[in-house]
Amino acid sequence: MKILVINAGSSSIKYQLMDLEDAHNYTVLASGLVEKIGESTGRVIHRKNMSAVEEKVVEEAPIPDHRKGMARVVALLTDPVKGVISDAREIEGVGHRVLSCGEVYSDTVRVTPEVKASIRDFFPLGPLHNPPNLVGIEVAEELFPHAPQVAVFDTAFHQTMPRKAYLYAVPYEWYKDYRLRRYGFHGTSHKYIAQETANYLGKPLDQTNLISLHLGNGCSMSAIRNGKCVDTSMGVTPLEGLVMGTRSGDIDPAALQYIMGQTGMDIQQMTDALNKKSGLKGLCGGNDMREVVEAAANGSNRAQTALDIFAYRIQKYIGAYMAVLPRVDALTFTAGIGENSAPAREHICRGLEHLGIRLDLEKNNSPSRQPREIQQDGAPLKLLILPTNEELQIALETKDIILSTPT
């Protein structure tokens, strides 16, 4: 089944076309990115993966809106030379990454008018993501009227959290009237990693306990008991929790009032600073972990401090999640930093031997990109590196919905 996966941002569209049988039998036919939508000059990067050597096309031209961007994607996918299909009707389903619908949906759903209304209803809680997500759906409905549209929510996997984990200790009316609670994000990645960890360990998912560490420019962790999320680090927005590339993570709310009073910043400026100018970038000026590690190795005190704070925050969440899980079968590292930064993993694991976390430095420094274990021989807790694949997870769930809910 040919599934098109779409992740529509405010000024971009990421896409991937898969020919999918199951999680272990699939082909990525093409992938790409449409960016700078609405700016004077837009750009399309399209990759055709049908041959042994990847073919890449880069185009620069004005892209006034998402519809024009998606129309260009369809033209590239069906181009006699650059494309991989002869007609858009070969696409049998479209899976959309959608940020949030709160408590309305706890699983993937086929898009209906009611689903679109719910996505719109959550614009206030996802102002940067839900509006373009909905635009992506509406454009895809126009361009692929024959294909079922499926919404895969980034928050859905975390809907199994108990109330004690998702409620904030604030006036209850804020939750009841304004839906203020911890929702969590990166759910598609955490769900995929939970299943991959169970597969790697040779255990049924419903008997697998793990702590998943999705560490990239955005970072989050989840405590997963018997295959289901019981706690996660992000909150009502993706700002809460770990130190990230440009996001602050946990901070005393009263500090914001203080800084606003000192600087004259308004709430929008403060929110922008916490999301785009904080985290590693705020601490040492750079948000690329490779550059932070290199700068620390070259004697930068600020870079070393940033690395220390990044790792320490993760260590605290590891301790918290080990406290709420009856046992931990594995700590699983994934995403850009989790999969690729041996120094970051070493810094995170350092000093946690009393928790059974015993890193093998040689295994950790191995350049392999394959799923693997990096704990010392005989260590009581497995440390895994497993590549995430959110696009595959979205495609799998899209196929499942199409087959289980025929029109």
Please list the active-site residues: 154
pLDDT digits (tens, 9 = 90+) for 224-253: 999 999 999 999 999 999 999 999 999 999
Higher per-residue pLDDT: 405 or 141: 141
Instruction: Judge if 246 and 135 occupy the same domain.
Output: no
> What was the pLDDT predicted at 11?
84
Bigger pLDDT: 218 vs 82: 218
Which positions ≥6 away from 119 have C-beta within 8 Å? 98, 101, 130, 133, 134, 137, 151
Angle between helices 390-404 and 187-201 (to 10 degrees): 90
Residue 216 and residue 130 share a domain: no
Number of domains in the chain: 2
Claim to verify: residue 146 and residue 211 sit in the same structural domain? no
Q: Are 148 and 240 part of one and the same domain? A: no
Q: What is the pLDDT of residue 56?
A: 87
Q: Distance between CA atoms of 278 and 281, rounded to whole angstroms? A: 6
pLDDT at residue 53 in the model: 66
Residue 127's pLDDT is what? 84
**Domain annotation covers residue 372:** yes
Q: Which residue has the higher pLDDT, 48 or 358?
A: 358
The whole-number pLDDT of residue 407 equals: 62
- CATH number of the CATH domain containing 137: 3.30.420.40
- Can you give the pLDDT at residue 146? 93
Query: For position 49, what pLDDT does the model report?
Result: 80
pLDDT of residue 406: 66
- Are 252 and 111 members of one domain? no
| Distances in whole angstroms, Cα of residue 372 to Cα of each of 130, 155, 341, 377 | 36, 28, 14, 13
Domain annotation covers residue 116: yes
Work out the average pLDDT over 88-115.
91
* pLDDT bucket at 361, cuts 50 / 70 / 90: very high
What length is written for the chain? 407
Least confident of 49-53, 161-165, 229-233, 334-338: 49-53
Looking at residue 244, its pLDDT comes to: 96
Read off the pLDDT of residues 106-119 as tens digits, 9 standing for 90 and up. Answer: 899 999 999 999 99
Taking 90 as the threshold, does the pLDDT of residue 8 lie above it? no
Q: Please, which pLDDT band fits residue 50 given cuts at 50, 70 and 90? A: low
- Please state, for a pLDDT cut of 70, what percent of the chain lies above it: 99
Q: What is the mean pLDDT of residues 277-304?
A: 96
The reply to whether 180 falls in a domain is no
39 assigned to some structural domain: yes
pLDDT in tens, 250-267: 999 999 999 999 999 999
In this predicted structure, the answer to whether residue 172 has a pLDDT above a threshold of 70 is: yes
The whole-number pLDDT of residue 9 equals 83
Same domain, 23 and 131: yes
In a domain? residue 330: yes
How many Å apart are CA 241 and CA 299, to the nearest integer? 28
**134 with 66, same domain?**
yes
Residue 315 Cα distances to 45, 53, 177, 301, 348, angstroms? 38, 41, 35, 21, 6
What is the mean pLDDT of the segment spanning 36-52? Answer: 84
Same domain for 223 and 149? no
| Residue 52 predicted with pLDDT over 80 | no
Does residue 271 sit in the same domain as residue 131?
no
Domain membership of residue 168 (yes or no) is no
Inside any domain, residue 102: yes
Same domain, 214 and 353: yes
Are 127 and 229 within one domain?
A: no
Range of the domain at 355: 203-390
Arithmetic mean of pLDDT, 268-296: 95
Most confident among 98-102, 132-136, 145-149 (mean pLDDT)? 145-149
Q: Is residue 316 part of a domain?
A: yes
- 260: which 2 tokens? 């606003």
How far apart are the C-alpha atoms of 87 and 91, rounded to whole Å?
Answer: 8
Which pLDDT does position 10 carry in this prediction? 78
Q: Write down the pLDDT at residue 193.
A: 98
Residues 215 and 78 in one domain: no
pLDDT band at 214 (very low <50, low <70, confident <90, very high): very high
